[in-house]
Amino acid sequence: MTTDTGAAVSTRGLTKRYGATTALHGLDLDIPRGSVFGMIGPNGAGKTTTMRLLLDIIRPTAGELSVLGRTPRDGGAELRRRIGYLPGELHLGTRVKGREFLAHYAEISGPVRKGAVDDLADRLGVDLGRPVRSLSKGNKQKVGLIQAFMHEPELLVLDEPTSGLDPLVQQEFHAMLHEAKAKGQTVFLSSHVLSEVQQTAHEIAILKEGRIVERSTVADLRENAVRHVKLVVAEADAASARSTLDALPGVAGTASVANGPGTVALTATLDAHVDAFVKAVARLDVVDLTMEEPDLEEMVLAYYGTDLSSTAEPVDTDRKAAKR
């Protein structure tokens, strides 16, 4: 059905409808092997639906889907042994102890190296001697992560993996992702905020209402983000500084604001072109220069907003997809 393009996950026109509701509108997605791919979007954007389709928990209404070179339906149990999955809503109500619980899942997943479960439990700091249902939300999440990682699967599908984890454990989790990537494992993770994926994900897709509205690398996102700059020069240089800025590409909204005696502060926004900007102002007699780190989160949130829905038409998305 789908040809093996070498991608760990590849979808073409992937569509999922529940009755009258369409959860996914023809998703085109390629996740290269050995990469960490982040999917972000608000609740109900279709992140969980996409992940469940990969595991054959639900079936696509239309479109093509290939996971590690197989369709989830044909790949069956054998394919799923090569995947580690953490569901977005993890409910662990069993009274069996963590170790016994994981031993059961180890039996029905790929081979688990001896000691792997204990190593992971030590790293994440969870007591496997306690009944699973008595664990806190965060500790249940750790048990969920262990069952996803323990057989060192080729593909990790993690639905909001850091939910409920404290910052220290999140750091450990990020280290685990880096190691997974170093070992050549592919990671597909989702979140509703960028900050959870930007540290680890190389490439991201922003999903909204079942469509990909933006696909980018974190580096590109940062490069293209709008920065606020503030340049302080001597009063005598103010006019020439201003004309220098106005002549630069990507600079907008230049304004002079009062500064200490003898100096003038010029503020502006800069859209990419950081290199050209720095080189141009280097020729000036600069008293001070401030460039704010771009707020990527804000940028991503703008994609969630309804005001941007006009730019998220399927035609637009398709054209973008074709370009890549």
Kindly list the residues in this chain that would bind other proteins in the complex (CB under 8 A): 18, 52, 55-59, 76-78, 80-81, 83, 85, 87, 89-94, 96, 104-111, 144, 147
For other proteins, give the closer residue by CB, 163 or 309: 163
What token pair was written down for 91?
């409910």
DSSP string, 185-197: -EEEEEESSTHHH
In the bound complex, what is the minimum distance in angstroms from residue 257's beta carbon to other proteins?
55
For other proteins, give the closer residue by CB, 55 or 284: 55
In the bound complex, what is the minimum distance in angstroms from residue 314's beta carbon to other proteins?
24
For other proteins, give the closer residue by CB, 93 or 253: 93
For other proteins, give the closer residue by CB, 50 or 317: 50
In the bound complex, what is the minimum distance in angstroms from residue 167's beta carbon to other proteins?
26
DSSP 8-state class, residue 151: T
In the bound complex, what is the minimum distance in angstroms from residue 141's beta carbon to other proteins?
13
For other proteins, give the closer residue by CB, 77 or 168: 77
What token pair was written down for 204?
């991201």
- Nearest residue to 155 via CA among 81, 52, 76: 81
For other proteins, give the closer residue by CB, 112 or 213: 112
Residues 53/59, Cβ–Cβ less than 8 Å: yes
Contacts of 241 (CB under 8 A, 6+ apart): 231, 233, 264, 266, 281, 284
What token pair was written down for 13?
């026109």
How distant, in Å, are the alpha carbons of 24, 29, 165, 166 from that of 206? 13, 11, 23, 25
User: Looking at the DSSP assignment, which residues form a beta bridge with residue 46?
Assistant: none
For other proteins, give the closer residue by CB, 95 or 323: 95
DSSP string, 87-126: -SS------SBHHHHHHHHHHTSS---TTHHHHHHHHHT-
In the bound complex, what is the minimum distance in angstroms from residue 258's beta carbon to other proteins?
60
Contacts of 90 (CB under 8 A, 6+ apart): 140, 141, 144
Q: Which helix (H) or strand (E) holds 78?
A: helix 72-80
In the bound complex, what is the minimum distance in angstroms from residue 46's beta carbon to other proteins?
13
In the bound complex, what is the minimum distance in angstroms from residue 106's beta carbon to other proteins?
8
